[in-house]
Structure 1
Amino acid sequence: MKILNFGSLNIDRVYRVPHFVREGETLSSSGYDVFAGGKGLNQSVALAKAGADVFHAGKIGPEGLFLKKELADQDVHTTFIEETGTVTGHAIIQVTDAGENSILLFGGANKEITEEQIHRVLDHFEAGDMLVMQNELNVLETVLDRAYEKGMILAFNPSPMTDQLKKLDLKKLSYLILNELEAETLMKEKETENQLMKLRKQAPELKIVLTLGAEGVIYEDESQRITQQSFPTEVVDTTAAGDTFLGYFLSMVACGKRTEEALRMASKAASLAISREGASVSIPFLYEIRED
């Protein structure tokens, strides 16, 4: 199975701060780093580090060539990344001493994907291949619709949340991977059980993966529910935790692992990621997960 990640590519500028900047406040940063990032890039790196055969499609500007190299260095296929964007997408990330993060995004080239590029890319994939998407591109529904028509397996992470996602036809998706805040916004429900019930009602055949931070994760499909506890760790930086989980989970599923094993491996990978600084650089390799 080939995996296509049609996703964002960002330059992450990370500032270490004692607390998030408040309205009207000027705050000095105790540290500064630049990383390859974007939910799309992070998830492609996680998929590749977990052993998947992954192709990344997207767009960058002239200052983003190092993002393409970063993916290639991690054995991600970069043929479908176009270099015709005006400005590469980027993020300003505040990371506190407690490891929490606050992110300001500018879409840039991620918002310049064309219909022509979509067709060129999807022509290279077929029924049974997997499409992974987030909500950082300008063509979400178009890509999902075209891939659904081709019979691809659709895995979607509704991040960042926007009003348009409330109109998304969840029945077209195979996997919906989201955290508790995204589920609350999407379903307009605060209680986990009500969130799951509403999602199941909208799309009975949907495979739901609901991550709950330190409380672990719940997987639910039409015939079963599986829970997985998180692995305790020292929290340094939570930036790529969700992306790491998603990449490892889908990679394990794609290579035929049982759902229970996929959840365990993904949870362990995410716990290692949050014990390290940075986004894609914090994502562990498969050999690290296998060492128990």
Structure 2
Amino acid sequence: MRVVNFGSLNIDYVYRVDHFVRPGETMSAQSLQVQCGGKGLNQSVALARAGVETWHAGLIGPEGRFLKETLDRAGVHTRFVEETAGSTGHAIIQVDSTGQNSILLHDGANGRLTPEFVTAVLDQFSAGDAVLLQNETSCAGDILREAARRGMRVAMNAAPANETLHGLPLETLSWLLVNEVEGAFLAGTEEPEAILDTLAERYPDTTVVLTLGEQGAAAARGSLRARVPARQTTVVDTTAAGDTFTGYFLRRALEGASLEEALTLAAAASALAVSRPGAADAVPGYTEVLAAL
């Protein structure tokens, strides 16, 4: 089983702050780190560290070559990571004293994926393979439609939540992964059980996964439900928590495991990720996660 991730590639500028900057406020940061990032990159690293054969498809600018090198070191295949004119995507991330984060994104090269690029990549895969994507690149609709036409199973982390999501054929998904904000945006309600009920009814052939931070995670497929608590840990940085969860959940889901088994592995991996600083660098390895369980 191979997974091709049409994923965002960002340079993260991470500022440690006492609190998030307020409107009109000028504040000195405690520190600055420049890191590899993008939900796509983080999720490819998580998949690879979870033991999944992972191919990343995306675009970078000249200053983003170290992102490709990071994927290579993590064991991700990077044949479909191409360099293009213009800037690499980047993110400005504030991490406060409690480990919570606030993120400002600039698409850069992530917004320059074309339908031709999507087709050329998917021509190298088959119905036995799976596709992963986020809402941080262009051509999400093309990816979903082309993958469905080829009979491929598709997982989407519907982040960030914006109007683009309403125009996508989400009913074609095998897995839809959202946090509370993204789930509320799609479902039109903020209560977790109502989010799951609404999305499961709207997409009856899709497994809907809802991450709930300190409240754990839940999933629904049709009338089937599963929920696991969050694992206790010291929170240092939540930046890659959801991305780690996505990669490890898919590891189990692709194996045909139960919803509860997939949620349990993903929650353990996510707890390890938030206990250390960084994004891709914080993603744990598979044996480490098994040991934590």
State the distance in 2 between where 1:183 and 1:102 align: 18
The aligned counterpart of 1:103 is 103
State the distance in 1 between where 2:10 and 2:121 align: 20
State the distance in 1 between where 2:192 and 2:289 align: 29
State the distance in 1 between where 2:122 and 2:85 align: 20
State the distance in 2 between where 1:122 and 1:209 align: 25
State the distance in 1 between where 2:58 and 2:42 align: 13
Contact 2:204 2:222 in 1 (8 A): yes
TM-superposed CA distance for 1:203, in Å, is: 1.3
State the distance in 2 between where 1:67 and 1:126 align: 27
State the distance in 2 between where 1:288 and 1:257 align: 20
Matches within 5 A, 1:1-292: 1-292=1-292
**TM-score, normalised by the number of residues in structure 1:** 0.97
What 5-or-longer segments of structure 2 have no aligned partner? none
Q: How many residue pairs end up in the alignment?
A: 292
TM-superposed CA distance for 1:287, in Å, is: 1.4
TM-superposed CA distance for 1:138, in Å, is: 1.2
State the distance in 2 between where 1:251 and 1:196 align: 22
Query: Counterpart amino acid of 2:181?
Result: L
State the distance in 1 between where 2:49 and 2:163 align: 33
TM-superposed CA distance for 1:223, in Å, is: 4.5
State the distance in 1 between where 2:228 and 2:128 align: 27
Contact 1:232 1:271 in 2 (8 A): yes
What 5-or-longer segments of structure 1 have no aligned partner? none
Contact 1:85 1:112 in 2 (8 A): no
Between 18-27 and 73-82, report the one with greater CA deviation: 18-27
Contact 1:219 1:226 in 2 (8 A): yes
Query: Counterpart amino acid of 1:63?
Result: E
TM-superposed CA distance for 1:253, in Å, is: 1.9
State the distance in 1 between where 2:19 and 2:223 align: 44
**TM-score, normalised by the number of residues in structure 2:** 0.97
TM-superposed CA distance for 1:255, in Å, is: 3.3
Between 14-23 and 221-230, report the one with greater CA deviation: 221-230
State the distance in 2 between where 1:107 and 1:147 align: 23
Query: Counterpart amino acid of 1:138?
Result: S
TM-superposed CA distance for 1:224, in Å, is: 1.7
State the distance in 1 between where 2:33 and 2:187 align: 36
Q: Kindly provide the CA deviation profile for residues 169-222 of structure 1, in whole angstroms up to 9, marking residues without a partner as x.
A: 222111001111111111111222222222122111111111111111111112
SS at the partner of 2:190? coil
State the distance in 2 between where 1:230 and 1:189 align: 22
Query: Counterpart amino acid of 2:225?
Result: R
How high is the sequence identity, in percent, across the aligned residues?
50
Query: Counterpart amino acid of 1:50?
Result: A
- Root-mean-square deviation (CA), in Å? 1.1
